[in-house]
Amino acid sequence: MHKNKARTKRSGDLRFVACVAIFAFFLCAGALEYINESSSEKPSSKHSFNVSHSLPAFLVPDVEISQGDRIFVMNSEDNTRADACTVGYVDASTRVIQTAGHCFNDGKEVYTENWELVGVGSKSKEKDMGYIQPRDNVKLVENAYSTDRVDQDGVKKGDKVCVYGASSKKVRCDVMTDTGSASTINLGVNDAGIRGDSGGPAWTDDGYVGTYSGSRKDANTDEILGGYVTIS
């Protein structure tokens, strides 16, 4: 009688261990080693891609995204090159993430800094705005820099505009100097960023304005004149 109970207990223990091993296998199988040589927008060193999108839905961990986070986009056809950009705005109501349009080609996958899949990107045909459709497991957390408010009045010459980039890792503020085009505004030299800051948020005291697109420089002297922002 006792021997039968012991055998039953051992059998149950073995089944439990087997289940744990299978569960662990599925979790670990989602990681692939990936090597990338790059500049600040093409991350160097060895990266482990989290391909948890291949796992059953109940095993996929939640991913959190906030304004100002660093993201990577696999733009190359053979997945050997990733471009780095910054999250400009997270809209929890429509479940859309905004960044710069030049950060990706349509249909390319977007990852977090930890190489967790966020979703797929697309870009506007009219201006330098990009949009990421997040996967169901992605939680859009907060807009810590601009707040959720959107500046409805528009930016005027002389207004203070602040920007943030995930590469420079700092808030930079200057004034709007003039209008660059129908969809862009030019900012002072203090708002010039570095590679990887593209797509970062731009805001005034009244709320979110748009995304940082890049720097402007004098064509003759290469002097940096300032940054410019694409209005959302």
**Residue 82 falls inside a structural domain:** yes
Q: Which domain holds residue 220?
A: 160-231
Q: Could you tell me if 116 and 58 lie in one domain?
A: yes
| pLDDT for the residue numbered 57 | 55
| Residue 34 reports pLDDT greater than 60 | no
Q: What is the pTM of this model?
A: 0.76
- Closest alpha carbon to 132 in 103, 108, 97: 97
Q: Where are the alpha helices (DSSP H) in the chain?
A: 2-28
Q: Could you tell me if 129 and 165 lie in one domain?
A: no
By CB neighbour count within 10 A (0-12 exposed, 13-18 middle, 19+ buried), where does 98 fall? buried
Q: Could you tell me if 176 and 106 lie in one domain?
A: no
**Residue 155 falls inside a structural domain:** no
CA distance 30 to 42: 22
* CATH number for the domain that contains residue 106: 2.40.10.10
What is the mean predicted confidence (pLDDT) over 170-188? 93
What is the mean predicted confidence (pLDDT) over 132-138? 95
In the sheet where 109-112 sits, what is the strand order?
82-86, 70-74, 109-112, 117-123, 129-134, 96-100, 89-91
Beta 70-74 vs 109-112: how paired, if at all? antiparallel
| pLDDT for the residue numbered 9 | 44
**Residue 46 falls inside a structural domain:** yes
Number of structural domains the chain divides into: 2
Q: Who contacts 40 (Cβ-Cβ below 8 Å, separation ≥6)?
A: 84, 167, 194, 195, 196
Backbone angles phi, psi at 14, to 5 degrees: -65, -40
Q: Could you tell me if 125 and 213 lie in one domain?
A: no
Rg, the chain, Cα only: 23
**Residue 197 falls inside a structural domain:** yes
| Residue 27 reports pLDDT greater than 50 | no
**Tokens found for residue 19:** 């289940």
| Residue 151 reports pLDDT greater than 80 | yes
**Residue 124 falls inside a structural domain:** yes
**Residue 48 falls inside a structural domain:** yes
Domain stop point among 110, 140, 170: 140
Contact of 204 with 173, CB cutoff 8 Å: no
Q: Binning pLDDT at 50, 70 and 90, where does residue 217 land? A: confident
Residue 203's SS3 state is: strand
**Residue 14 falls inside a structural domain:** no
Q: Could you tell me if 38 and 133 lie in one domain?
A: yes
Q: 185: which strand partners?
A: 179, 229
**Residue 28 falls inside a structural domain:** no
What is the mean predicted confidence (pLDDT) over 132-139? 95
**Tokens found for residue 54:** 């291949």
Contact of 68 with 144, CB cutoff 8 Å: yes
Query: Model confidence over 85-123: pLDDT tens digits?
Result: 999 999 999 999 999 999 988 889 999 999 999 999 999
